[in-house]
Structure 1
C-alpha cells in the first residue's frame, strides 16, 4: 500500500495516513483517561506479582505441578507490567514523536508487544492442557514432576520466538520503497505485502490459535469435570459414613474449585482478549474504519486488567497462598500472627490440582 493522499480517503485526519506515528488520536480524552487508569493498574499488578513471587520463594512447598503454571503466569505478567506497559503508556500519553525514525526503540517496542501478548496466550493454553492431563491421566498427573511445567513454558517461548523472530529481524533490516517513504511507521510492519501476510500467519499461530484452543476446550473440560464429580459422589455414597464425611468435604471443595477456576478463566479470556484480537486484525489489515487506532489502543488497555485479575483469581482458589501472603504482610507491618497460622500447613498436596 502506498502511503499517499489516497490511503484512507474516507477519514478526516490531520495527516493522510492514520498509521503514521505522527497521526494524532481522534479520541484523545478516551486514550488519556484510560492511560491514567492503566498507571494504577500497572503499579498494583507489579506489587501483587512481587508479593506472590516472594511468597513462593519463602514457601517453596507451595510449588506443585499445577501452581508452577501460575508462577510462570506471574513472571510473564510482571515482565509485561514492568517493561512493556510503561513504553505503551509513553506512546499513549504524548510520547509517540520519540519513536519517529528511531528503528531501535521501535524494534524494542514491537518485540515486547508481540512476545508479551503471545506468551500470555500460550501460557494460558498450557494451563488448559494441564487441566486436561489432570482429568484424563490423573494417576500419571500425581507423579508429574514440577519441571514439566517449566519445560512447557520454555517450549512455548521457543515456539513463539520461532514464529516471530523472522518477522522481527526482517522488519528491522528490510528496506523497501514503502519503508523509505514511511520512516515514522511503528505500529505496523515496514515491508512489502508478502511480509504482512506472514505477520497475519504468525499472529494466528502465536495468539489466535492458543486462545482458540482455550475457548473451544474449556466447555468440554467443564463437562468432564462435572461428570467426574458425579462419579465421585456416587462412590462416596457406598462408603462408611465416617470415611465418607472425611473425603466428602475435600473432594467437593476440590471439584468446586476446579469448576470455578475453569469458568473464571474462560470468561476472562473471552471477555478481555477477543475485542483486542479483532482490533489487531483490523490494524494489521490497515483498516480505514474510523477510530481504528484509538479503539485498538483502548481495548488493549482494557485487556491489561488481566494483570490484576489473573493473580486475584489464583489467590481466590489457593487457600495456602492466601494464608502465607497474609502471614508475610502481617510480619512486614509488625503485627502478631495468629497462633493457629504460625505452623505452616500444606493442605493442598501434590495430588491437588489447585
Structure 2
C-alpha cells in the first residue's frame, strides 16, 4: 500500500515527505548513508548523562514492547534532476524517491537519541527490525535551505548552538563548498588532517567556523560554545533567508584562497614563525579576520544589513579590486613580493607581550584586513594593514 504523504514548503523550496518503514529498513538506510563516516559518528553525539542513559534505557524497553516513537526527521540534499521529478505519488518506497542520489547527503535532523535506542533494541531483539516507525524526509537542492529549515523550525533542542546544528549537515555543506569554491586546493577532515604545505589548504572544522563568522561578522566566534546572544541568532537566520547568502560566502572563501595562494609564492629557506607567505593564512586568526572584513563590507555591520542588490554590487567590486592586486602580485619576483607583504612588520606587531594572545591576534588581523578592504586592495605594501591595530 502506498503510504507517501507529500507537502511542498514554498518558503524554502523543500519537499516534505512523511511515510512509514520498518526499523530494519530505516537502520539499513542510515548505516548506508554514513558508512564512509563510521556509521552514525558524523551526527550529533548520543547524550551520555545519567538521566539521558536512563531515559534511553526506558525507550529501548518500550520499543521492544511495541511502542510507537515520534517521527524521526531526515534531511537530504539531492540533485536538481531528481528534485524536479517530485512528488512521485506512485512511489512505494523511499529508495524509489531518492533514485541514484548520493546517500551520504542524508542527515538526522531530529531523532538521534531515538535512532540510538532503535539500534540497541535491534541488537537485543532482532524481531524489532520488523516494527514500523514514521519518518519525515525533508528534500532540498541546497544545503542553505536545509540549514535554514533546521535553525528556524528545529531550534527547540537544548542547548541550542549554531555549530551543533551545522554539524548535522556538515558533510553536505563541505561537499557543496568543494563544488563551488574551485580555488580550494585541499579541505582536510578530522579523520585526515594532513599537513598544510601551500595556499588554499584548510581544515573542514575551520571552514565551518568561517561560515559562522561570515554570517555573524564577528571575530570572537567559538564554534564549541552556545550562541547565547539572541541578536546573533537572528542575524544568522536573517542571512540564511537570503537565497544569495550561500553563494556570497563561497565567493568570500574563494577570495581568501586566491590571496592565500598569491602570498604563498614567497617561500624563503628559513621556516620560523611568520617567515613564509603561506604563514599569513596558516592560522585561523588571519582567516577569520579576512572573512569578517569581507562580510562586513558586503553584508553590512550587524544590525544594519544591506539589501540583496547592494550586497551583490559590493561583492563584485571587491572581487575586481582583489583581482587587480593578485595580477600585480603574480607579476612580482620573490624579493618584491617579500617587500609587499612585509612579514618583518607583522612579526614585530605579533611579538608584543600581551595577555590572551589568540584574541589579540584576531584583533590585529581583523583591523589589518579591514584596512585592505577599505583601501580597495590598492596598497603599495601591507605595512599599513599590520600597523592598523
TM-score normalised per structure 1 = 0.29
The structure richer in strand per residue is 2
- Structure whose residues are more often helix by fraction: 1
